[in-house]
């Protein structure tokens, strides 16, 4: 028998709840319910924006990824056969869009590490390329969003670890869903989540 602390129970039920909610919106939207379609597309865009900003760190890219998620979700709804798999499809699409954006960047910093690239925990902090210092009002709002302390700590993680921790802890996806999206085994997802949590804690405590 497994023992489940409260935090684990709440994460599991939130993953199941979010999937059921998405599936119900997808089903309603596919039958022409405009309100469901609007809600679904807004949620998909917000998820895309959060993922892109937290994992890749570029607000301009996040706007583009958000637009891309809107169009692709709208097109995908016409051919969807498994509403319960929508969330996995969405994050796979968003992850790929983020990767494409990063590859297309002109003057890519030499320290860029791709999302797929594994970096061992022992290698410590990977330098994270930061966007242009001339920040717009929008940029300032985004910097303040969600607490600068945690975002700074997230930036200190290797990209593939950051991606796992964002999807598991913040987007509420299950280990299996993250494995499907990233192409990692479930064991690798668990290992990276474990190391990412330890690194995050260290970064937060070092401040």
Partner 1 sequence: MSAASDCKTILDNISAYLDGELASTAYEAIERHCQACPTCAALVSGLRDTIGLCREAASVPLPDAVRQRARDGVRRLLDRNVEKG
Cα dihedral across residues 183, 186, 188, 193: positive or negative = positive
Q: Which helix (H) or strand (E) holds 29?
A: helix 6-30
130 lines the binding site for partner 1 (CB under 8 A) = no
32 binds partner 1 (CB under 8 A): no
Nearer to partner 1, 24 or 191 (CB): 191
Closest distance between partner 1 and the C-beta of residue 70, in Å?
5
Distance in Å, CB of 9 to partner 1, minimum: 7
151, with CB counted inside 10 A (0-12, 13-18, 19+), is: middle
Among 145, 185, 186, 187, binds partner 1 (CB under 8 A): 145
Stretch that binds partner 1, among 16-24, 101-109, 114-122, 142-150 (CB under 8 A): 142-150
Taking CB under 8 A as the criterion, the residue among 13, 16, 20, 46 binding partner 1 is 46
Give the whole-angstrom CA distance, residue 93 versus residue 90: 5
Residue numbers 2-21 binding partner 1 by CB under 8 A: 2-5, 7-12
Backbone angles phi, psi at 97, to 5 degrees: -65, -40
Query: Over the range 69-100, which residues count as b (16 or more CB within 10 Å of their CB) and which as e?
Result: beebbeebbeebeebebbbbbbbbbbbebbee
Point out which residues bind partner 1 (CB under 8 A): 1-5, 7-12, 34, 37-38, 41-42, 45-46, 49-50, 63, 66-67, 70-71, 74, 138, 141-142, 145-147, 150, 165, 169-172, 190, 193-194, 197-198, 200-201, 204-205
């Amino acid at each position: 028998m497994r023992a489940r602390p409260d935090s684990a129970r709440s994460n599991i039920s939130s993953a199941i709840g979010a999937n059921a909610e998405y599936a119900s919106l997808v089903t309603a939207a596919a039958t022409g319910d405009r309100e469901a379609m609007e809600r679904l597309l807004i949620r998909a865009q917000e998820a895309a924006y959060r993922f892109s900003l937290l994992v890749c760190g570029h607000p301009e890219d996040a706007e583009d990824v958000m637009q891309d998620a809107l169009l692709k979700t709208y097109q995908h709804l016409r051919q969807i056969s498994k509403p319960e798999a929508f969330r996995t499809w969405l994050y796979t699409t968003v992850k790929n869009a983020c990767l494409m954006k990063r590859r297309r960047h002109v003057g890519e910093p030499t320290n860029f590490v791709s999302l797929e690239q594994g970096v061992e925990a022992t290698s410590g902090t990977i330098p994270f390329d930061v966007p242009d210092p001339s920040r717009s009002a929008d940029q300032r709002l985004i910097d303040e969003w969600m607490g600068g302390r945690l975002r700074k700590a997230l930036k200190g993680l290797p990209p593939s670890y950051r991606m796992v921790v964002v999807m598991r802890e913040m987007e509420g996806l299950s280990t299996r869903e993250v494995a499907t999206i990233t192409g990692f085994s479930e064991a690798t997802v668990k290992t990276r989540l474990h190391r990412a949590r330890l690194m995050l804690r260290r970064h937060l405590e070092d401040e």
